[in-house]
């Protein structure tokens, strides 16, 4: 299954394993770096082709190690009843895609610690295999790849334990602050601030390393620092949104009398009477009182203007699906996530095959802005 940014590779224990295209950049760069620089300096005298397959095996091992790390996050999340949409690998590592926050500080602590603990176990397992290989006289190339996987998993465990939210160490810190103050919002704000601070320190360290002449090392420190700084702020904003919308249902935000168009209307009539006059991007399409789909301005533009009078709305309407519909008792946070994921600026609110209203991104954002502004002025609200 292919999307604009990621591809689904396979399913593992019920979780979709996906990679963003940025991961391919990392895989290519890592394979080249291992084959051309790291492995030849550590294991001299091997044929050039051997270094390349070692580099490829090392990249594949890193992929498997990150999946294993995120899998344990996902398994603990499943144990606590948290919905996991899948595991995605990207240029900075991997993430288990959770749609909600842990139900308690204890759950947060165990969920966060599961990843680094699994990486530490893998490092010990690969160390044991490497020692066994040394003792049995395995090929230097095989032992070399195992040694690399020892170091990479130990590094994964150590790096993720940095107290920089949203890294695992930052989540452990948040769980402690949450248990202390009984306030996840405050705990996340403090942990995010520390995460931003760690990100700034890494950027500063990268700048210093650059001045000392290590260009590659400085770039990685600066890029990772900038990522941490951005991710910590984004994670706090995401939690703020979830907290504001917690318990809210779609019915509160929906417009109960939406503008609709019949399936028999021509595209010319639609353009003149609705799109140009009211600037609608998407409209529900009905047949009597039954919802049959929706029509967007983007789809209209795929038909030459001279032919608009020859085609009806029903011919080009998109089918109703989980991507563009939601029930009026549905969770408002789910509606926002759905719109963000699909790029839609509104969802049709349905009861069976009947249209009962629409909920727009603008209505949700207006509510969020008001509530967040109130909370900034009155933190206890």
Domain boundaries, the chain: 6-245, 250-371
User: What is the predicted pLDDT for the residue at 42?
Assistant: 87
pLDDT digit string (tens) for 211-259?
Answer: 887 776 788 788 888 988 888 888 888 887 877 887 788 888 888 888 8
User: What is the predicted pLDDT for the residue at 3?
Assistant: 43
Average pLDDT in the 103-124 region? 94
Instruction: Compare 333 and 156 and report the one with higher pLDDT.
Output: 156
- CA 204 to CA 229: how far, in whole Å? 12
User: What is the predicted pLDDT for the residue at 376?
Assistant: 53
Task: Report the side by side order of strands in the sheet with 354-360.
Answer: 261-262, 282-287, 290-296, 354-360, 346-351, 325-327
DSSP 3-state helix, strand, coil percentages of the chain (rounded to 5)?
60, 15, 20
Instruction: Compare 343 and 46 and report the one with higher pLDDT.
Output: 46
User: What is the predicted pLDDT for the residue at 194?
Assistant: 92
Instruction: Compare 109 and 184 and report the one with higher pLDDT.
Output: 109
User: What is the predicted pLDDT for the residue at 54?
Assistant: 92
Average pLDDT in the 268-290 region? 73
Q: How buried is 288 (Cβ within 10 angstroms: 0-12 exposed, 13-18 middle, 19+ buried)?
A: exposed
Q: Encoding tokens for residue 142?
A: 């095989």
Indicate if the alpha-carbon torsion angle 98, 101, 103, 107 is positive or negative. Answer: positive
User: What is the predicted pLDDT for the residue at 380?
Assistant: 46
- CA 270 to CA 275: how far, in whole Å? 6
pLDDT higher than threshold 50 for residue 2: no
pLDDT higher than threshold 90 for residue 110: yes
* DSSP structural state of residue 260: -
Q: Which pLDDT band, with edges at 50, 70 and 90, does 260 fall under?
A: confident
- Averaged pLDDT score across all residues of the chain: 84
* DSSP structural state of residue 306: G
Q: What is the pTM of this model?
A: 0.75
User: What is the predicted pLDDT for the residue at 93?
Assistant: 76
User: Which of 74-88, 109-123, 245-259 has the highest mean predicted lDDT (pLDDT)?
Assistant: 109-123
Percent of the chain topping pLDDT 70? 93
Lowest mean pLDDT of 40-44, 104-108, 147-151, 245-249, name the range.
245-249
CATH fit for domain 250-371, picks 3.40.50.720, 3.40.1190.20, 3.40.430.10, 3.10.580.10: 3.10.580.10
pLDDT higher than threshold 80 for residue 377: no
48's enclosing H/E stretch is helix 48-79
User: What is the predicted pLDDT for the residue at 44?
Assistant: 87
Measured CA distances, 147 to 45, 92, 134, 219, 342 (Å): 17, 22, 11, 25, 43
- SS3 string of 171-205? HHHHHHHHHHHCCHHHHHHHHHHHHHHHHHHHHHH
Q: Answer whether 51's CB lies under 8 Å from 19's CB.
A: no
Q: Answer whether 285's CB lies under 8 Å from 260's CB.
A: yes
pLDDT higher than threshold 70 for residue 375: no
353 closest CA partner among 281, 283, 293: 293
């Amino acid at each position: 299954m292919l999307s604009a940014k990621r591809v689904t590779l396979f399913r593992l224990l019920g979780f979709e394993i996906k990679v963003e295209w940025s991961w391919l950049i990392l895989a290519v760069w890592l394979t080249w770096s291992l084959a051309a620089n790291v492995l030849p300096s550590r294991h001299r005298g091997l044929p050039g082709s051997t270094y390349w397959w070692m580099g490829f095996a090392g990249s594949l091992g890193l992929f498997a190690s990150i999946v294993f790390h995120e899998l344990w996050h996902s398994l603990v999340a499943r144990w606590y009843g948290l919905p996991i949409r899948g595991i995605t690998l990207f240029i900075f590592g991997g993430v288990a895609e959770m749609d909600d926050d842990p139900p308690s500080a204890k759950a947060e602590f165990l969920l966060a610690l599961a990843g680094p603990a699994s990486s530490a176990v893998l490092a010990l397992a690969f160390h044991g295999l490497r020692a066994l290989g040394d003792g049995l006289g395995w090929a230097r190339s095989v032992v070399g790849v195992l040694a690399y996987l020892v170091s990479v998993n130990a590094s994964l465990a150590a790096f993720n334990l940095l107290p920089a939210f949203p890294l695992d160490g930052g989540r452990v810190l948040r769980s402690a602050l949450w248990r202390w103050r009984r306030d996840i919002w405050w705990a996340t704000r403090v942990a995010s601030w520390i995460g931003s601070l760690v990100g700034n320190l890494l950027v500063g360290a990268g700048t210093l390393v650059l001045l000392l002449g290590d260009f590659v090392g400085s770039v990685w420190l600066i890029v990772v620092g900038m990522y941490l700084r951005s991710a910590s702020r984004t994670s706090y904003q995401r939690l703020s949104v979830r907290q504001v919308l917690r318990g809210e249902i779609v019915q509160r935000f929906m417009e109960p009398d939406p503008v609709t168009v019949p399936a028999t209307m021509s595209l010319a009539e639609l353009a003149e009477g609705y799109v140009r006059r009211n600037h609608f991007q998407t409209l529900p399409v009905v047949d009597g009182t039954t919802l049959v789909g929706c029509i967007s301005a983007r789809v209209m533009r795929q038909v030459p203007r001279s032919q608009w009078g020859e085609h009806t709305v029903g011919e080009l309407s998109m089918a109703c699906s989980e991507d563009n519909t939601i029930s009026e008792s549905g969770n408002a946070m789910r509606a926002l996530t759905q719109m963000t994921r699909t790029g839609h600026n509104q969802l049709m609110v349905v009861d069976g095959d009947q249209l009962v209203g629409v909920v727009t991104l603008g209505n949700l954002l207006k509510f969020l802005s008001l509530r967040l502004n109130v909370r900034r002025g009155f933190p206890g609200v």
